Each structure stands twice: as C-alpha cells, then as structure tokens.
Structure 1
Amino acid sequence: MRSAAAVEPPLASGEKLIRVGHSPDPDDAFMFHALANDKIPTPGYRFTHDLVDIETLNRRALEGTDLLELTAVSLHGMAHLTDKYAICNCGASMGDGYGPRVVARQPWTVDDLRGKRIAVPGTLTTAFLSLKLILGDDFEYEVRPFDTMLDVVEAGEFDAGLVIHEGQLTYPDQGLHLVVDTGVWFQEQTGLPLPLGCNAIRKDLGAETVNEVTAILKQSIQYGLEHRAEALEYAAKWGRGLDDARNDEFVEMYVNDWTLDFGDRGRAAVRELLKRGYEAGVIPEPAEVEFVG
C-alpha cells in the first residue's frame, strides 16, 4: 500500500490528490485493496494512504490542522465534525447484532462492571460512546492502544477492557470472558444495528469531487467483494493473530452490504445513536449529519 509519506511523482496536470486515512486492520485493508493496489481506474485523482488507529484519525480530523480529504472516523467522532465533513454513503462499518466487546478475566455481568477500571481504545470511538450509554458515568477508564487491550486485561492492569477490531474474535485465546457485546445491547434497545465507523469526506472539496471520490470508494469496496480471495489475502497482512478462517469471519462482519450502502435503516441507526449520545450528555450538541453519494 502506498503511504502518504512515500516519495510521489508530481501530480499530472489537472490531477487531484486525495489523501486517505484508515485503520491498519483487515476490514479497512479489504475495503481499500483495489484502491491501494491500482485494481481500478481513478481518472483525475491520485490516492495516498495513511494507516493509523481510529482514535488518531478522530483527533486529527477534530483538530483540523491538516484535514485529510477522505478519512475513516468513528460515528462518535463524526458527531464533532459535521461542519467539516460529510458521511460517504458507502464505507460503513456496521455491527448488525454484534460490535465492540467488554471482556474481563472473570465471567461477570454488566452490573459487575460498575465502579470498575476499564481500558478503552479512545474517548471518541463509538465503542466508548456505547459503553457510556450502557454504564453512564459508573466506571473509571484509561485510554490504551487498541492492540494492547487484551494483554493489559490479562495481566491484571485493568478490571476489564473495551475491545475493537480483531480482538473481538481472539479474546478467548487469552482466557478472557465476554461481559457485554455493545452491538447486541444496542440492537436490543433500538432494534437497529450499531453504526461504528464511516468514511468521511471534506465538504470543501465541492460537490463534483465529493461525488466522484465517493463513487471510486464504492468501486473499491465492490471490487473486494467480487474478488474476495484476492482481497482477503491482502487484508491478512493486518490480521494480528487471525488465521485465515477468522480473517474471513472478521472481514465479513464489517465489509458487506451495509458497507456498499448505509440504506435507510443504516442512516436511521446513525441518527438514533447520535441522538442517544446527546441525550446522555456524551455528545455536547445535537449532531445533524449529511450523507453524500
């Protein structure tokens, strides 16, 4: 995958640079395989890729000092970015009856988490917003890198950990127990899937560029789905601890029909999540998001 930090030849006349930010995990790699490896045409555009964790992408967009043209953000983070970014109608990570999981060394219930110290992957992640909706303020937390979450819980540094990415599948390998699946909880509460992440595009690029770049993103996702074995092989490079079967399972969880199009139900889920976040006091202002493409 080409990095934005790599030396690039000068842009051709009329060519536009689109810097893409996304997480170094299998589902994002699967989604961007075609775009990163020149499997589809991108006339008029050159894409480069920054691979960093989702909380860093949230913070970078929020700080606004060097706004990526196209970036993965959490839906929680998106609530703070509606002045700068719109949501691409493709590229969703949707937990349809599953999602980030809280795990512990003991087989606890949700009530056992109250007052406990929980490691979280970032306070702008949708995982954190979901945990706040479940527990309110009745827990202590500290941010730790997402890929160390299982280790710090296993080592006893925290009572529990809020797990995203491939840790949602691998936590039993370290003798940990599921306490609550936030996607299951959200669906029980609302009847809707839990919208975790999206691809956001800068509004100031103009309608033509926004629509063309979103269409290219959708082509990349479609290519992966139509060339699954090829895209899975590429995605496996970022599957920390996942064998081929679990790499396939994880990608299927978060790259699917929801990823091609939020649809009416997916857009309703986004609005319901952000409304509940505001009503709970986690999101400071009502968030009116715009979908494009």
Structure 2
Amino acid sequence: MSIYTVAHSPDADDIFMFYAIKFGWVSSKELRFTNMALDIETLNEKALENFYDITAISFALYPKIRNEYALLRTAVSFGEGYGPKLIKKRGKKLKKNFKVGLSGRYTTNALFFRIAYPDARPVYMNFLDIEKAVLDGKVDAGVLIHESILDFDENLEVERELWDIWVDLAGDELPLPLGGMALRRSIPLNKAIEAEQMLTKAVAVAHRHKTLLSKMLLERNLVRIDDEQLQRYLDLYANEHSITMNELQYEALDKLFAIGFEHGYYDCPIRAQEYLIPTEYTTLRELH
C-alpha cells in the first residue's frame, strides 16, 4: 500500500472536504493518506520546496510549481460574486501608499491586491492576525480571507471587495479562482490517478452528507466557527462546484494565469487543462 501525505489548511472548507477520508467514509485498497494542517502561505512555501505529496495551494502560485506538481481537478474553492475583503477602520481614509496586512506573498488575494494597489506597502502575516493588526493600527488595512470574511469587528468596514478587483481585471464575471490542490509529479501515474479519484469521491461524499459531517466536525472542535457560520462558509467554498472543476472554472484559471503573466508575475502564460493528471492513461492501459 502506498502512503501519501495530504497537506491542507485548517480552515473549514479544507477540513470539511478532507475529513470524509479521515472518518473512513472513503478508502482504497492501494492508497492511504496521512494529513497535515498548515496555514495557506506555509503550504505555498512548502510547495515551492516540493515538500508534500499532495498539497492545498493558492491558485496564483501554480505557474511557479507547474514543473513539479500537477493540478488536481477537485477540492477547489472559487468565489461567485464574493471573496476576500479589504477592510479598514470605519471612516479611515487610505493614503496611496497605505500599509496593508496580507495573508502571504503567494496567495491569490495578494496577487490581485498588488496589481490593484501597486503603491501600497504589504505586511505579510498569518490571516488570523490581520483583523487585530488593523484594529491595533499596526497596518492601515488588511485583506480578510477564509472564515474571517463572515464576521469581523463592528469598528471595521469593507473598503473594497476583491471580487470587484477580479471583475475589473478579468473584464468579465467569471468565478474568482482562490485555491485548489496539486499533486507531486514524481508519484507514479496510476497512483496519481487513483489519488485524485479518491479525493474527488471524498469531496462528493462530504457534500452529500454535509449535515452529518458538519455535526461531527463541530462535536470534535475541528473547526473554528459555530454551526451557523460553518453552513454559510461551506455554501461559499465547499459546494457542488468544489467536486470537479468545470469549463467556466478552467476559463477563470486561464484568465488568472494570463493576468499574472501580463503583470510580470509568471515567466510564461499557461492553460490549466494542460497541467492536469492525464486520466486517459487508465483507458489506454485497459485497451492494451
């Protein structure tokens, strides 16, 4: 049996999508997964080191790791009219070179932010610390991600939605690409295909049994939010569109990668579907 490490973030959507495997609802005779929960920027940095077998990443990072990792079709998070929020103290007027708290250099929200606000001064920190940093005046503003977007201090207000920045950059209302999963290319292809199939089943099973799985996560204190917020958050980022990417999501990813290339963040433009695991291998092997 092959054992692979799946690294994911501790936010509710990643926990939700992986724990169908952890609870034994999805299994394989050939594969077993261990898991590691780390904040998204640590995962991005580890992916640059080719560290974990399978890892959650910010989509904006992917072109930088494309030679070492294949892009998975499953466990994806896109915004549909929503996403991270740029927040500040109520009534505060931001200067052109305002100091902003961002959740990491390689995150998708940081890419959009740097393009939209080239004169701002980023301060990178754990996303859980951003709200307090704004309240304490350590930064003038901050970009909230994950569960932080659901509920924040009443002394703060939204300066701008990153969804609006995305629409301005993309020129169309495509879904906002935020995060997904990548698998190390050194894994044998047949194992890689089975791993993706197993993860896809896990996301589908988790979605189908959302109420029961949510209850189990809450009872075990595996998420940082209460039941009402958990349901709201899962509706946003762990829904039916998280199971397998669709054509509109691929189009959105291609747009993201094109925007990044146009602004000098990538060495070449890429198309997402050219970097997926070639599942046709299984069919060809069966024919022979």
TM-score between the two structures when normalised by the length of structure 2: 0.89
Matching of residue 55 in structure 1 with residue 55 in structure 2:
no
Deviation by residue 1:180-219 (Cα, 9 ceiling, x = unmatched): 1112331353321111111111122132111111110011
- Output aligned runs, 1:103-182, within 5 Å: 103-107=87-91, 112=94, 114-135=96-117, 137-171=118-152, 173-182=153-162
- Output aligned runs, 1:230-241, within 5 Å: 230-236=212-218, 237-240=221-224
Q: State how far apart, in whole Å, the 1-side matches of 2:124 and 2:222 are.
A: 22
> What is aligned with 1:3?
none
2:183 aligns with one of 174, 193, 201: 201
Deviation by residue 1:144-184 (Cα, 9 ceiling, x = unmatched): 1111111111111110011111111122x342101111123
2:259 aligns with one of 276, 281, 285: 276
- Quote how far apart the aligned CAs of 1:108 are: 6.0
> What is aligned with 1:256?
239
Give the partner amino acid of 2:53: E
Go from structure 1 to structure 2 and tell me whether the alpha carbon gap of 1:41 and 1:106 turns closer, same or farther (over 3 Å shift). same
> What is aligned with 1:38?
24
> What is aligned with 1:4?
none
- Quote how far apart the aligned CAs of 1:42 are: 1.8
- Output aligned runs, 1:12-91, within 5 Å: 15-64=1-50, 67-91=51-75
Deviates more, 1:72-81 or 1:276-285: 276-285
- Quote how far apart the aligned CAs of 1:28 are: 0.5
Say how many residue pairs are matched.
272
TM-score between the two structures when normalised by the length of structure 1: 0.88
* Contact 1:104 1:178 (8 Å CA) reproduced: yes
Q: State how far apart, in whole Å, the 2-side matches of 1:162 and 1:249 are.
A: 19
Structure 2 runs not aligned, ≥5 long: 280-288
Q: State how far apart, in whole Å, the 2-side matches of 1:277 and 1:227 are.
A: 37
* Contact 2:90 2:155 (8 Å CA) reproduced: no
Q: State how far apart, in whole Å, the 2-side matches of 1:192 and 1:158 are.
A: 31
Go from structure 1 to structure 2 and tell me whether the alpha carbon gap of 1:256 and 1:84 turns closer, same or farther (over 3 Å shift). same
* Contact 1:88 1:214 (8 Å CA) reproduced: yes
RMSD of aligned residue pairs (Cα, Å)? 1.7
Q: State how far apart, in whole Å, the 2-side matches of 1:18 and 1:127 are.
A: 29
Q: State how far apart, in whole Å, the 1-side matches of 2:175 and 2:239 are.
A: 13
> What is aligned with 1:5?
none
> Percent identity over the alignment?
27
* Contact 2:87 2:142 (8 Å CA) reproduced: yes
Q: State how far apart, in whole Å, the 2-side matches of 1:186 and 1:235 are.
A: 32
- Quote how far apart the aligned CAs of 1:224 are: 0.9
Q: State how far apart, in whole Å, the 2-side matches of 1:123 and 1:276 are.
A: 17
Q: State how far apart, in whole Å, the 2-side matches of 1:259 and 1:53 are.
A: 20
Give the partner amino acid of 1:248: Q
